[in-house]
Amino acid sequence: MIQLNKSMKIEKAIFAAGCFWGIEANFRKLEGIVSTRVGYIGGQFSNPTYKDVCSHKTGHAEAVEILFDPSKVSYDELLDVFWSIHDPTTLNRQGPDVGTQYRSAIFYLDLKQKEKAENSKAKMEASHRFKRQIVTQIVPASDFWQAEEYHQQYVEKRNKHYTPFI
């Protein structure tokens, strides 16, 4: 937990669910989101670039790192949004985007997040909302490498009329 001032405690979450542009845009619309940044996580390559990740040689996923105020939005609510904005049943693919960098993953930062993510995934599986098996990985967070500046808040910069999925 990060403490910005005496009264405001901030937590962090990291999700991968396909191209990070739309994922970031959807999370940024939620009340209680303090900041977001897109980047790369889960690979074996230090300080990767977009070109490196697209080469399929780094093992990184495109992801969004979210700082949030848990008094306004909970980690459980973020998980609910995560499940609603992508198809967690397609392995290494979201829509036309194909490759391991587009995998569905929850990168947990502590055991509490791991437990919540696992419970949330089990709840989704039990709901039969998805006709196929959920392939979302739930893995410990590793180094998060911020993507190039032009990727940050890409949708907002390019499309003032974007309507999020939520």
As annotated, the active-site residues are 19
Residue pair 67/34 in contact by the 8 Å Cβ criterion:
yes
Question: Which residue intervals of 33-103 are DSSP H helices?
Answer: 50-54, 75-84
Q: Between the CA of residue 96 and those of 4, 92, 93, 166, what are the distances in Å?
A: 39, 11, 7, 21
- DSSP string for 124-159: HHHHT-SSS----EEEE----EEPPGGGTTHHHHH-
Rounded to an integer, what distance in angstroms lies between the CA atom of residue 75 and that of residue 73?
A: 7
List the beta bridge partners of residue 12.
67
Provide the 10 A C-beta neighbour count for residue 165: 12
